[in-house]
Structure 1
């Protein structure tokens, strides 16, 4: 294996959304360092953190009908019935909700929980409360999408947090996506809520660490030991 191949396999790719921020951090570091040496090293550390924040590692997504995978890296902070946001137009009935909190050290690239067609994209301005709070689902800035296939319909909501100030969504209504596909990103600390049919039994627990595109949130179909889960990258 060549040195170039070794480096490419070792270094984690950086999402293009991070390039402007990395450039700003790097230029600021050089300018500050020119006037005061210690600021250069502080700026270098901050620049490295920005690179780390916008990392976009490859993921291996489990493939099996009925699986719902995590849309985000982070920690499960809420589980239970809740009414979806009104702008999603999913009705007034409760659905099973699983919330994943992302801190500033988590990878913030969001991935589709299941395959299907994006039938709705709805943005709503709001506050920037701590994303771990239950009321953040109602009051914070957010962007929601609905994914439908022949078997089910789910809602996925990107919620800005205390530090987050920018929600990015890559998909549009009418597009078809596969489980594990990148569909968005939130800058600097936030939360993802997944709304599944009421009666769904989550396969996760409070405090559990999730990996976007890999960790299984729920299996909408009965588990069969003879039908193993396979994964695709």
Structure 2
């Protein structure tokens, strides 16, 4: 188990806060043994919470072009057909994974390929399971196209507690499946948009692991879109 680089500053600030608070208690209340023990215990709990949040376990990635790996640890909260208007502009299967504060918050590429699109959107901080969080919260949108020309779109979405989204990719990058593409601090959500006809391997409420759980299996030739903007234009 290692600590993610995004946690270095937060852990340092936590240690500083603990040191200062304990020093003040010791200086102003040297005889308040009960109070000091309460502060010591709370300090230890706070440190462990921050430490576990930024943990970055080493995992073994089993790459497979047909598989769509889960981009984050968490629980599946949405599986539905929906329109994707930002880039794909057609009908897709959306899978959403909610990340609680106790989950590992490393984000990983669901497929290998080339980053065809990236955009950061400033926005609100609605709770991550709110239906409008996908379109109104602070978020990033990333599209990776595999070697067969199949695009998969996914989003990092900030929640009520998550106030910082970090990403490590840009348009034109060639990326590996399971490679880290970002990190979200303190609870969040990741949405994945897959072609119609994709075989879904997970269910609502299922606990999933980033880079290890196979969310879905892509078809060799995805079904044509129905009801989306591109379909309307062709009609």
Aligned length: 208
Moved more, 30-39 or 208-217: 30-39
Task: Give the corresponding residue for 2:23.
Answer: 34
Task: Name the Cα RMSD after superposition.
Answer: 1.3
Report whether the alignment pairs 1:135 with 2:124.
no
Unpaired stretches in structure 1, ≥5 consecutive residues = 1-11, 223-233
Question: Does the CA-based 8 Å contact 1:160-1:189 persist in structure 2?
Answer: yes
**Structure-1 residue corresponding to 2:194:** 196
TM-score, normalised relative to structure 2: 0.85
- In structure 2, the residue matched to 1:108 is 105
Which residues of structure 2 form unaligned runs of 5+?
A: 26-35, 221-235
TM-score by length of 1: 0.86
Give the conservation status (yes or no) of the 8 Å contact 2:199–2:219.
Answer: no
Q: Which of 213, 216, 225 does residue 214 from structure 2 map onto?
A: 216
Based on CA coordinates, which of the two structures has the bigger radius of gyration? Answer: 2
Distance 1:174 1:43 in 2: 45
1:102-138 CA-partner distances (Å, limit 9, x unpaired): 0000000000001001111101111111111222111
| 1:44 correspondence with 2:44 | yes
1:78–1:134 contact (8 Å) kept in structure 2? no
User: What is the CA-CA distance between 1:85 and the residue it aligns to?
Assistant: 5.1
Please list every run of at least 4 consecutive aligned residues from structure 1 whose deviation after the TM superposition is greater than 6 angstroms. Answer: none
Question: Are residues 1:21 and 2:10 paired?
Answer: yes
Task: Please name the residue that 1:83 is paired with.
Answer: 83
